[in-house]
Amino acid sequence: MSEIHLDRVTLREIRLPLRRPFRISSGTVSDRRILLLEIRDRSGAVGWSECVAAEQPNYSPETVDTAWLMLERWLVPATVGKSFDGPRAIHPHLEKVARGHPMAKGALEMGVWELAARMEGVPLSRLLGGVRDTVDVGISLGLQDSPEALAQEARAALKDGFRKIKLKIGPGEDYAYVAAVREALGPDVPLMVDANSAYTLEDADDLARLDEFGLMMIEQPLDRADLLRHAKLQARIRTPICLDESIDSVDRAQDMLELESGRIVNLKPGRVGGFAPSLAIHDLCRERDVPVWCGGMLESGIGRGHNVALASLENFRLPGDLSPSARYWERDIVDPEWTMDSEGRVTVPRDRPGIGVEVDEERVESLTVRREEFMAGSSVS
Ligand code: OSB
Ligand code: MG
């Protein structure tokens, strides 16, 4: 692995309207504000990444604005102008610079991995140790106005080929919705729900009623900090619990496994601080025979490329939230856009360097609303 010397980092915020608003139990998003990083090595090679922090602090305490602040004030200045002995060295470095803020750190870390893959001329999936040529794709359906409307969406998704259907739920928008979808799809279609922390342990009886639908899993029913309460809930319901928001570090994954707070992990590299912690969580779960799958955060094609590369690892055993570009955007910011075949699979680019798609820089430029460039010893807005 050659040495990486970070010469220049450019932060950008772009606006990208979703084709349709996406509603979860804690809020709705219509226009994405996406933080992109462009990272250049002394050799002139460039890597791209995307921060998964959202517009509102309703999924995680981090937002686009807190991530921008952390990157601008602390993380980028501590990194630009420095040399690293390969991309694995970035994560421990950033852990020394600041506490918390895994999404801000993850964006920078993943951009350096992408840069390293391009410098080596290898696909990012290979640099990460991926083994799959394709990854199974699931869809995450936002909350709808009625059970019938949701069942309609689910039917269409099944017809499109998606290999897993995930429904957002919340108190008062659960049992009847899941019932309508299960009825519409039949008993054998892989179906799951995601509550985005909308319940408390007091709701255990209501959640146990969902057991009758044979769900693959229920994702993040309780608060992010509720590892102990998730363990208590898991003891009371048959449906496997999958954690998403709770797992923001390797240590939290270890705690989950020790406490038996759940049986499946939704692994989003941008949520756990990047690829190095993702690989550690992947391996930890594999040792315990706990399946992981790759979640999504309504990413553009850049973040999608990072996720697809990671999802090519062995223990990603369940379909990922890796919907094609056209589901989210009129037009994505990468070329080619991400697609899914009729069998519900996305192809892992195994013969092109980095994420395997090219960033449409002109389009990125035209969508940019904020930009800041950092070079060793200076910052230029
Ligand atoms: O909880 O997995 C989640 C989107 C935004 C924030 C949180 C979540 C989601 C999704 C969408 O479920 C997955 C996707 O990107 O398609
Ligand atoms: Mg989730």
Ligand 1 atom at minimum distance from 299 CA: 15
The one catalytic residue in 82, 164, 168, 232 is 168
Around ion ligand 2, residues with a beta carbon closer than 5 Å are 194, 219, 244
Which pLDDT tens digit goes with each residue over 98-140? 999 999 999 999 999 999 999 999 999 999 999 999 999 999 9
Q: Is 321 in the pocket of ligand 1 (CB under 6 A)?
A: yes
Tokens representing 351 are 């013969």
Q: Is 196 in the pocket of ligand 1 (CB under 6 A)?
A: yes
Name the burial class of residue 243, with classes exposed (0-12), middle (13-18) and buried (19+) by CB atoms within 10 angstroms of its CB. Answer: buried
Which pLDDT tens digit goes with each residue over 136-183? 999 999 999 999 999 999 999 999 999 999 999 999 999 999 999 999
Closest CA to 107 of 74, 77, 68: 68
What is the percentage of the chain residues whose pLDDT exceeds 90? 98
Residue 325 has pLDDT above 90, yes or no: yes
Mark whether 268 is an active-site residue.
Answer: yes
Q: Tell me the CA–centroid distance for residue 7 and ligand 2, in Å.
A: 36
What is the percentage of the chain residues whose pLDDT exceeds 70? 98
pLDDT for res 263: 98
Share the mean pLDDT of the chain.
97
pLDDT for res 2: 75
Question: Global pTM?
Answer: 0.97
Q: Tell me the CA–centroid distance for residue 298 and ligand 2, in Å.
A: 11
Residue 377 has pLDDT above 80, yes or no: no
SS (H, E, C) the chain: CCCEEEEEEEEEEEEEEEEEEEEECCEEEEEEEEEEEEEEECCCCEEEEEECCECCCCCCCCEHHHHHHHHHHHHCCCCCCCEECCHHHHHHHHHHHCCCCHHHHHHHHHHHHHHHHHHHCCEHHHHHCCCCCEEEEEEEECCCCCHHHHHHHHHHHHHHCCCCEEEECECCECHHHHHHHHHHHCCCCCEEEECCCCCCHHHHHHHHHHHHHCCCCEECCCCCCCHHHHHHHHHHCCCCEEECCCCCCHHHHHHHHHHCCCCEEEECCCCCCCHHHHHHHHHHHHHCCCCEEECCCCCCHHHHHHHHHHHCCCCECCCEECCCHHHHCCCCCEECCCCCCCCCEEECCCCCCECCCEECHHHHHHHEEEEEEEECCEEEC
pLDDT for res 378: 64
Q: From 18, 24, 196, give the residue whose CB has the most ligand 1 atoms within 8 Å, as the site to mutate.
A: 24
What are the CA-CA distances from residue 312 to residues 101, 135, 263, 287, 336 (Å)? 26, 6, 21, 18, 19
Name the burial class of residue 309, with classes exposed (0-12), middle (13-18) and buried (19+) by CB atoms within 10 angstroms of its CB. Answer: buried
Q: Is 298 in the pocket of ligand 1 (CB under 6 A)?
A: yes
Q: Could you tell me the domains of the chain?
A: 4-121+358-380 (3.30.390.10), 127-347 (3.20.20.120)
